[in-house]
């Protein structure tokens, strides 16, 4: 009896390499924002896929030129172009954010050079300004109008 319980105890307290693992994670470049980077890359792929789909759809319309569909096709095209413009802007912002991660300048406010809180980055990964500076910028834009 005694021997068995002792064996159990030693098994339970056997040392695990928790500390070593944790140290390896923090030393990885960009590890702090790893989940945000994954999210950005996912968004990027989704946009690229959508843009690709839009192109194949338009090709299909051109292959079947139907007079009654022409007006609605034009509206569709304008709509797709507007979406594409917005997507391209977002795509550019995502690329810039990924670039900043590579250069280790990600998460630093462009104006005051303070670290942007993680919660804000999580909610708006492409932002380059902290909340205080963003508010200031918006106020300035209002005055300019
Ligand atoms: Zn700032």
Predicted pLDDT of residue 82: 85
**Burial of 30 per CB tally in 10 Å (0-12, 13-18, 19+):** middle
Distance (angstroms) between ligand 1 centre and the Cα of 116 equals 7
49: phi then psi, degrees, rounded to nearest 5: -65, -45
Which CATH number fits the domain 32-106, given the four candidates 3.30.310.50, 1.20.120.910, 3.40.30.10, 2.60.40.10? Answer: 1.20.120.910
Distance (angstroms) between ligand 1 centre and the Cα of 33 equals 19
Distance (angstroms) between ligand 1 centre and the Cα of 115 equals 8
pLDDT (tens digit, 9 = 90+) per residue, 10-48?
455 555 544 444 444 444 455 789 999 999 999 999 998
Locate the domains of the chain by residue range: 32-106, 108-145
Distance (angstroms) between ligand 1 centre and the Cα of 104 equals 17
Q: Has residue 139 got a pLDDT over 50? A: yes
- The region of weakest confidence among 24-33, 72-81, 131-140 is 24-33
Q: Has residue 73 got a pLDDT over 70? A: yes
For ion ligand 1, residues whose CB falls within 5 Å:
109, 111-112, 130, 133
Distance (angstroms) between ligand 1 centre and the Cα of 121 equals 13
pLDDT band for position 127 (cuts 50, 70, 90): very high
């Amino acid at each position: 009896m005694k021997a068995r319980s002792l064996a159990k105890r030693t098994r339970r307290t056997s040392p695990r390499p928790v500390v070593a693992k944790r140290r390896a994670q923090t030393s990885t470049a960009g590890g702090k924002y790893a989940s945000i980077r994954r999210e950005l890359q996912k968004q990027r792929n989704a946009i690229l896929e959508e843009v690709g789909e839009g192109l194949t759809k338009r090709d299909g319309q051109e292959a079947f030129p139907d007079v009654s569909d022409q007006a609605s096709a034009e509206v569709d095209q304008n709509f797709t172009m507007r979406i594409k413009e917005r997507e391209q802007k977002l795509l550019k912002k995502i690329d810039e954010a990924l670039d900043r991660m590579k250069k280790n300048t990600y998460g630093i406010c462009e104006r005051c050079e303070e670290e942007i809180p993680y919660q804000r980055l999580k909610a708006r990964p492409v932002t380059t300004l902290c909340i205080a500076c963003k508010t200031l910028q918006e106020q300035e834009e209002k005055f300019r109008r």
